[in-house]
Each structure stands twice: as C-alpha cells, then as structure tokens.
C-alpha cells in the first residue's frame, strides 16, 4: 500500500505518519505538503530517513503535480486550519480547503482509489446542549468552518455523482506533541514557560471537546481500514471543558513542573475581546465509529495533558524557533494592542 498523506508536515498528520509507519510495516507513505507557516519538517526528523517514507514539497492545488505522483489511496489532512486566521483573511482557506480538496477528488475519481477526507466538528457549528451526530445539520460559523463544510459537501457530491470510494471523519479539538503554538493548548504552555500573557477570549466559558492526537490517529486508521464507503464518522473522546478550566490546569501544572509556588502563573491570564462569531460549545457523539470499527479513545485527559505539558517543556527549542519568527509577527498584529491594555 502506497499511501498519499496530504499535509503531513502539520500537527495531526505528522503524528499520523509516525503511527502508520509503526503500525503497518508493509505501507509506504508519500507525504505531500506545501510547507506553509504551519508545516514543519522538524515534526518528522525521527522518521525522515525511513525507506518507507517519501516527502514531496507541493501544493494540493497543483493538479499537474498530483497527476505525477504514484499512490494507491489518499488520506487528506492538508488544510488551512486556524479559525483566527480565517477571520483575518478567508482566501487561503477557500483555495486550499475547497479547491485543493476538489483536485484530490478528481484524482481519486480518475484513479478509482479510496479517499479519506479529514474534517472537523466545527462544520456543525455551536450547540448549547446535546451532542453532534453524523446527521446533525452543517451550520458553520467561521470562514474556516465554512470552507471545511464546503469540502465535506464536495466529497459527498463525488460519492453521489461519480461513485468514488470516499469517507469523511469529523473530529473534535486535538491536543498533543507538535501542535503549532497558535492553538490554545500549546499557546498557553509556551506563554506560561516564557511568562507571557495568556489571552483568554471573552468570558473563557466556551466549551471544547478535547481528544489526544494519538487517539485521533488510531481513529483515522480504524475508519480507513474498517469504515464503510460513503459514510461520515464523528470522532471524539467525551471530554468537554470550558477554556478557562484548561488554562488554569495548565498554569498549575507548569508552575509545579518549574518548581514555582502554587498560583504563581495565574496573573498571566488576560481576558481579551471575544473572537468574532466564537462558537460557544462543541460536543461530539462518537457512538458510530465505536460501534462500527471497535475504536475507543485510550488517553484520559489528565494523563494526556500532563504528558503534553511535559513534551512542550522538554522541547522548548522546537517551539522557540516558531514563536520567535513568523508566528510572533502574526501574534503581535492580532493581540499585541489588546494585551497592552
């Protein structure tokens, strides 16, 4: 099996490539990644010399390039993935998430190969109570979520119109090693370690449903091997938490690991203006994937978040390079003024 993985230098797909190479010794992985600001080959240093791994730098919007690559199946992770960036400029989201996905669907149609499309719970929008299941209506609220919902609908249309063998997964918020430090959890850990302000949007009571990236990777693998063609699978680990609770838990743990007094880092919490269109709550019902593939999450949140905090504290050189460069420029533009007040 020669597996084309798109976006393999990003957070989730780099973890997934590592998972595939160890779980399936007969598989070859071709990683196609444009290396945007979020793509980082450092995420793959430990496996890049493997004979079962090939890296191609390229854009999923480049049809000619795609046509020249040999593979048997596609697992499509590549995306512009950060909601705040989509609020500042939606265009790259539409290009990559919609047009790029359409190119991959065309290739899957021509080659009659399986395509697993990695989507998100954000396509369902926000819910005050209850849980999203696979039949919940798509009600995206950010340009990012709208671009992902559009790509999901394109996948559906290729299944219906061209009879391609495709599946969609919609996962809740991931955390774990190699997550780009613009997302909440790595941002809080790295800012806490550097004694920088922690921007909490609005009242901090927005709820997300957190899953460890290793559980997401096993779920993707389960759907790829055991899922039914044409189906959608929600992935989640029944772990809802308000943002402020996670922020406080991280600050307590970092303080303890750095040998500081209890509460020493709490002053870093800085409430800032709310994100525009900020979804109040996501909550996933993962019963279908559990029932049909036997997958279950294995990482309890307390254990997963502690391991993640330890990973970031032990890999400061990995995130320092990011936060001192392009990302900080972006961060300053977006939050600098508000944090001064």
Q: List residues bridging with 159 in a β-sheet.
A: none
In terms of Cβ atoms closer than 10 Å to its own Cβ (0-12, 13-18, 19+), residue 333 is exposed
231 given a catalytic annotation: no
144 given a catalytic annotation: yes
**Residue 199 binding ligand TDX, by CB under 6 A:** yes
Choose between 39 and 199: whose C-beta lies nearer to ligand NAD: 39
**Catalytic annotation, pick one of 33, 59, 80, 121:** 121
Question: What is the x/- site pattern for ligand NAD, positions 176-215, by CB under 6 A?
Answer: ----x-----------------------------------
DSSP class per residue in 143-190? HHHHHHHHHHHHHHHHHHHH---EEEEEE-EEESTT--TTSHHHHHHH
331 given a catalytic annotation: no
Encoded tokens for 144? 């990012």
User: How far apart are CB 268 and ligand TDX at their closest, in Å?
Assistant: 12
200 binds, among ligand TDX, ligand NAD, none (CB under 5 to 8 A by kind): ligand TDX
In the bound state, the residue with its beta carbon closest to ligand NAD is: 10
283 binds, among ligand NAD, ligand TDX, none (CB under 5 to 8 A by kind): none
* CA-derived radius of gyration, the chain: 19
**Residue 7 binding ligand NAD, by CB under 6 A:** yes
Residues 128, 280: Cα–Cα separation, whole Å: 7
- Looking at residues 79 to 108 of the shown chain, list those that interact with ligand NAD (rule: CB under 6 A): 79-81, 96, 100
Residues 113, 288: Cα–Cα separation, whole Å: 24
Angle ∠(273,279,284) on CA atoms, nearest 5: 145
CB 235 within 8 A of CB 216: yes
User: How far apart are CB 142 and ligand NAD at their closest, in Å?
Assistant: 12
List residues near ligand NAD by CB under 6 A: 6-7, 9-13, 33-36, 38-39, 59-61, 77-81, 96, 100, 118, 120, 148, 171, 173-174, 180
Instruction: Report the catalytic residues.
Output: 121-122, 144
């Amino acid at each position: 099996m020669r597996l084309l993985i798109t976006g393999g230098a990003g957070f989730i797909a780099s973890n997934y490539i590592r998972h595939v190479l160890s779980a399936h010794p007969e598989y070859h992985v071709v990683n196609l990644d444009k290396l945007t600001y979020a793509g980082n080959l450092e995420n793959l240093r430990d496996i890049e010399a493997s004979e079962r791994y090939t890296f191609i730098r390229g854009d999923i919007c480049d049809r000619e390039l795609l046509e020249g690559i040999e593979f048997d199946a596609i697992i499509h992770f590549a995306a512009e993935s950060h909601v705040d960036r989509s609020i500042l400029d939606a265009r790259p989201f539409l290009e990559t998430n919609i047009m790029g996905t359409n190119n991959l669907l065309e290739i899957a149609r021509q080659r009659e190969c399986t395509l697993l499309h990695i989507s998100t719970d954000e396509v369902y929008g926000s819910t005050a109570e209850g849980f999203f299941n696979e039949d919940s209506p798509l009600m995206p609220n950010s340009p990012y979520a709208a671009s992902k919902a559009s790509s999901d609908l394109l996948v559906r249309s290729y299944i219906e119109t061209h009879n391609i063998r495709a599946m969609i997964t919609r996962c809740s918020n991931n955390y774990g090693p190699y997550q780009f430090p613009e997302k909440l959890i790595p941002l809080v850990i790295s800012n806490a370690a550097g004694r920088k302000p922690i921007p909490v949007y609005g009242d901090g009571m927005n709820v997300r449903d957190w899953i460890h990236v290793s559980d997401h990777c096993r779920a993707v693998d389960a759907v790829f091997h055991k899922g039914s063609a044409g189906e959608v699978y929600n992935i989640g680990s029944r772990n809802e938490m308000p943002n402020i609770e996670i922020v406080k838990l991280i600050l307590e743990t970092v303080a303890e690991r750095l040998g500081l007094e209890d509460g020493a880092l709490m002053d870093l919490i800085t409430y800032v203006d709310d994100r525009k269109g900020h979804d109040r709550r996501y909550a996933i019902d993962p019963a279908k994937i559990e029932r049909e593939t036997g997958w279950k999450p294995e990482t309890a949140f307390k254990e997963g978040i502690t391991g993640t905090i330890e990973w970031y504290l032990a890999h400061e050189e990995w995130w320092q390079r990011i936060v001192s460069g392009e990302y900080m420029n972006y961060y300053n533009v977006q939050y600098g003024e508000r944090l001064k007040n």
